[in-house]
């Protein structure tokens, strides 16, 4: 999984995003995440901008197994990391103890909990 920032060196918005993007990459690396962040200079790699229909800078594209997704998150490092975790994490997590539930609640600002009877035949 990779997130690409497609930008141009003359772009003011790209320059503003650069430190937050770098910080997000560092946070993911510290956590041991397999997600990698990269930058592409669209003035040098113009065929990529054309291929992925980039209309403005910076454009962020998230790739999972080679399939691009439009980035729809914020522009701070925390917002970038949070969006990536939502897109790359499991759809559901099984919690079997009160301790796991407490940690899950503390780690997530918003959570949805489903309770299910488990039948072992």
* Residues annotated as part of the active site: 11-14
Q: Which residue has the tokens 């997704």?
A: 69
Provide the sign of the torsion angle of the four alpha carbons 29, 82, 23, 15, taken in this order: positive
Q: At what angle do helices 12-31 and 77-88 cross, to 10 degrees?
A: 60
Q: What is the dihedral of CA 6, 17, 8, 36, to 10 degrees?
A: -30
């Amino acid at each position: 999984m990779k997130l690409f920032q497609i930008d141009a060196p003359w772009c003011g918005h790209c320059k503003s995003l650069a430190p937050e993007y770098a910080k997000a990459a560092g946070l993911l690396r510290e956590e041991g995440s397999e997600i990698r962040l990269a930058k592409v200079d669209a003035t040098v790699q113009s065929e990529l901008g054309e291929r992925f229909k980039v209309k403005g800078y910076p454009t962020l594209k998230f790739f999972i197994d080679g399939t691009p997704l439009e980035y729809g998150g914020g522009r701070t490092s925390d917002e970038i990391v949070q969006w990536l975790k939502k897109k790359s994490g499991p759809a559901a997590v099984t919690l079997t103890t009160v301790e796991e539930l407490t940690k899950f609640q503390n780690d997530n600002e918003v959570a949805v909990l489903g309770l299910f009877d488990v039948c072992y035949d």
